[in-house]
Amino acid sequence: MDEEKIRSAFKKEGIDKEIKCPDAFAISEKYGISKTDIARFCNIHGVKIRSCQLGCFK
C-alpha cells in the first residue's frame, strides 16, 4: 500500500475524516489505487467509510 499516494489523492479530493463508498470507488479508478488499499488506509487512519455499496469496506 502506497500511503503517500492515497494521502495525496484524498487531499486533492477534499477527503479528511469521512468518505462515501461511491467516492472511494471513484478515487480508486481515477488514481489507480486498489479498493483494498483504500479500505486499509481508512481503517489505519480512522477515516470512516459511509454508504458502502457492496460491503467491500469495513
Task: Assess contact for 57 and 39: CB atoms under 8 A.
Answer: yes
- Which pLDDT does position 58 carry in this prediction? 52
- Measured from the Cβ of residue 13, the count of other Cβ atoms closer than 10 Å reads 15
To the question of pTM greater than 0.75 for the whole model, the response is yes
Q: Tens digit of pLDDT per residue, the chain (58 long)?
A: 899 999 999 999 999 999 998 999 999 999 999 999 999 999 999 999 888 766 655 5
Task: Assess contact for 25 and 53: CB atoms under 8 A.
Answer: yes
- Which pLDDT does position 56 carry in this prediction? 59
Task: Assess contact for 24 and 35: CB atoms under 8 A.
Answer: yes
Q: Which residues of 27-43 are buried (b: 16+ CB within 10 A; e: fewer)?
A: bbeebebebeebbebbe
